[in-house]
Chains A and B, each alone.
Chain A
Amino acid sequence: MRRRDFLTALGGGITVLLADDVIAQESGRGGMNRQTPQDVSAWLHIGEDGMVTAYTGKVEVGQNARTSLSAAVAEELRVPIASIRFVMGDTDLVPYDMGTVGSQTSPTMWPQIRRAAAAAREMLLDLAAQKWSVERSSVAAANGKVTSGVHSAGFGELTQGQKLVRTIPANAPLTPAAEWKVAGTSAPKVTGREIVTGAHQYPYDLKRPGMLYAKVLYPPQFGARLASLDKSAAEAIPGVKVVREALASPRAGFGADLVGVLAPDPETASKALAALRADWTPAPAETSSKDVYSYFKRNAGGPASSAGLTAYTIAYIAHVPLEPRAAVAEWNNGKLTVWTGTQRPFGVRSELAGQFRLSEENVRVFMPDTGSGYGGKHNGDAAIEAAILAKAVGRPVKRNWTREEEMTWAYYRPGALVEVAGKASADGTITAWEFHNYNGGAAALRTPYAVSGAREQSHQTPTPLRQGSYRCLAATGNNFARECYMDELAHSIGMDPLDFRMKNASNDDRLRAVIEAAAGRFGWKNRKKTAGRGFGMAAGFEKGGRVATCAEVSVADGVVKALRVTEAFECGAVINPEHLRNQIDGAISMGLGGALFERIEFAEGKILSNRLARYRVPRFADMPVIESVLVDRKDLPSAGAGECPIIGIAPAIGNAIFDATGQRIRSMPLAPQGSIGSPSA
């Protein structure tokens, strides 16, 4: 849909388009042939009925972007949140967007939506002043109405059937945080009622008339190639179709050979999949989860690290979104529509266009609010499978991944080897610092502490598993290694870890503020050591936020239990305090899994941790008492909050285990078999 077509479809009322430099720059790096206007990042429409509809390419995966963005509109437009409808993640209707990634919704989309709403409000005030022939300054908007003295009108009435369109610059002024009325308060989740009643339809739940259910044949091991296929037994089952097609872009470990079975019900599709007779050519596996860290080191690029560094290992882990990948695809007259759960609807649209050599305007991707992502749903695997199979059989096709498929064929947070060396003088000054990450990535590679002459390097290596984005990605492992090593340095000079951090965080007042806030609320200075108990702390920055974490653990017969966690978090002006606390709880929970027991075990190209019975994620009984301290900086722009709060928990627990036991564990997870001291692989 081109801009003219889009505006025609919107009908009468007020439309505000927000020009955006960021998006214009992004267009140089891809996303060509987009249907939606190329230089506009957000739009908002007020209908003649007064209904407010806002459009964004961001999506909702549980982080409550739908609620925070609705609050942005409510704040500037002076309407109740309940009267706002948000269209999200529908590539035919919303502005182009790179994706809901990197904690960017709050720092970029949130102010843009507010600017669009503020401009719409000013247009309404202009219309009212004209209509009533009153001073512009006497007109005010509140509660979805515009008033001036005896005059009052709803937003829709003021447009009087006109069609008003305005494009505003991306730097239009905004209401300062100190004057917010809706933003900054704890608006409840806007879709809460649909969720507690089971009414919300997630991608996994969607159906289309006449659709078939699909299953896909996956190799028994990464890299194995299909040597021969006998589909006769499957095709003999009534109602079953078997399709073999090629992927335009081979998938790591899977290749390009897509074999799918289709049936009118999922039961029959499963039977058909089991009835396929396939022979596979195995692929030699170069490493396993036992020796992958030396594999990284052996195959690394870049200048070598010095000898004698301290090694930390970070296991591959899985996102385990509780809703596995799912897609429904439907073809109509050469145009493809796919409903799927992805953090990058426009990215998936490009994948689909590439697969079928279609122009992007013939592909529509729509993402209903989805059952979580955590960085794990960036691509369109299920969408591609569904679309290929739907095209082959000429009917809508539903492709829901199983848990085992999700845990085997999605992608993982990279495993990593981190090597560190440093020295501290007696007064706590860090005099030497060297830090290398192999395979994990560069996020949080740089220390936030004042160190002169630091050498910090990220080394690319081949990866035996398919790897990709994750909540904070490499910052989880890099903060673990750095903050545990900071603890080692503090102990080497007999300095309290709190004093050591405060001394060396001298370049970052925001970091010092969260360290002080966490330590203060936790009672760090008054902590009392008892047998089997330990205390640890960690701090860091990521995605524009600052975080400090203090943890108390018990260790009994090697079994580690996180008892109490205090986390202070500063991400600029707080948009929604309760939802921010909810994100902190969630990040601590997810971080606790990676800290203590989550890891993907693999050998001979097979994922051994391929079910929840074989991959432990945190449960109710694993949770510590969490106390979150929100450091609200109304003078700073809001930063995203879904990622940064995850980075402190693993090192804080590692340091607390050392405090309790004197045992320095330099691996994530710290207690893979449920306790420390058990074999680490």
Chain B
Amino acid sequence: MANISELDVNGTRRRIDADPGRMLLSVLRDDLNLTGTKYGCGEGQCAACTVLIDGQPVKACITRVESAAGKRIVTIEGLAPAGKLHPVQEAFLEADAMQCGWCTSGMILGAAALLGRNPNPSEAEIVSGMNGHICRCGTYPRIVRAIQAAARKGGRA
């Protein structure tokens, strides 16, 4: 199969030349220098690499780049227009819902997608909806509070 030559990332068409079987995470980080998307495990266990494809959260470390071609990809760098913050980003800041921050990009995109599906999630729905994400620093209670606060402000993706 021919190489993938273009991706729609954060509203911009980006030229690439990638083997279709390569993982989206590597193309974003290594080819396009979008390093806000993080590697945590390479096996789809931690969701640090979460990006949105057509509004749905996917784990970029186990997603072949060919399956993202022709679709709208949103990374943390493109979640909000330049200089602005998305309500979920604001809520994470206000709740200080991070320590080292390595999981934060994936958490924020996962939370934005969750609120897109369910604008008023209960605490149990937040826990089950976010349970694929690991925060090794253990800021889970703050992340839950941040998502609740974003929901109150209408924090859809």
Contacts A197-B77, A371-B100, A617-B136 hold; do A612 and B46 have CB atoms under 8 A apart?
yes
CA A323 – CA B45 in complex, angstroms? 14
Contacts A201-B35, A403-B42, A619-B134 hold; do A586 and B99 have CB atoms under 8 A apart?
yes
| A197 contacts B128, C-beta separation under 8 Å | no
Interface residue from B35, B77, B130, B139 paired with A582 (Cβ < 8 Å):
B139
Is B148's beta carbon under 8 Å from chain A? no
| A198 contacts B96, C-beta separation under 8 Å | no
- Chain A positions 600-641 with a Cβ under 8 Å from a chain B Cβ: 611-613, 617-621, 623, 626
Most chain A C-beta atoms within 10 Å of own C-beta, residue among B29, B92, B100: B100
**Secondary structure type dominating chain B contacts:** loop
| A198 contacts B141, C-beta separation under 8 Å | no
Contacts A62-B100, A192-B98, A579-B96 hold; do A198 and B75 have CB atoms under 8 A apart?
yes
The count of residues in chain B whose C-beta lies closer than 8 Å to any C-beta of chain A is 54
CA A579 – CA B97 in complex, angstroms? 10
| B29 contacts A205, C-beta separation under 8 Å | yes
Distance between B99 CB and nearest chain A CB, rounded to angstroms: 4
**Secondary structure type dominating chain A contacts:** loop
Stretch at the interface among B1-9, B52-60, B102-110: B102-110
Q: Which residues of B contact A62 (CB under 8 A)?
A: 98-101, 137
| B92 contacts A196, C-beta separation under 8 Å | yes
Is B64's beta carbon under 8 Å from chain A? no
Contacts A586-B139, A587-B138 hold; do A198 and B127 have CB atoms under 8 A apart?
no
CA A239 – CA B142 in complex, angstroms? 47
Distance between A391 CB and nearest chain B CB, rounded to angstroms: 23
Closest chain A residue, CB of each to CB of B45: A612
The count of residues in chain A whose C-beta lies closer than 8 Å to any C-beta of chain B is 59
Q: Mark B24-39, 1 if CB is under 8 A from A, else 0.
A: 0010011001111111
| A204 contacts B134, C-beta separation under 8 Å | no
Contacts A188-B96, A198-B77 hold; do A590 and B102 have CB atoms under 8 A apart?
no
| B41 contacts A612, C-beta separation under 8 Å | yes
| B41 contacts A323, C-beta separation under 8 Å | no
| A620 contacts B127, C-beta separation under 8 Å | yes
Is B40's beta carbon under 8 Å from chain A? yes
Closest chain B residue, CB of each to CB of A206: B35
Is B76's beta carbon under 8 Å from chain A? yes
Is A193's beta carbon under 8 Å from chain B? yes
Q: Which residues of B contact A221 (CB under 8 A)?
A: none
| B36 contacts A198, C-beta separation under 8 Å | yes
Contacts A198-B77, A322-B134, A590-B136 hold; do A611 and B41 have CB atoms under 8 A apart?
yes
Closest 7 CB pairs of A and B: A198-B36, A589-B138, A62-B100, A371-B102, A198-B76, A62-B99, A195-B101
The contact sample of 16 A-B pairs, CB cut-off 8 A, is A62-B100, A193-B93, A196-B85, A196-B98, A198-B36, A198-B76, A201-B35, A202-B38, A321-B100, A322-B135, A582-B142, A585-B142, A611-B45, A612-B134, A618-B138, A618-B140
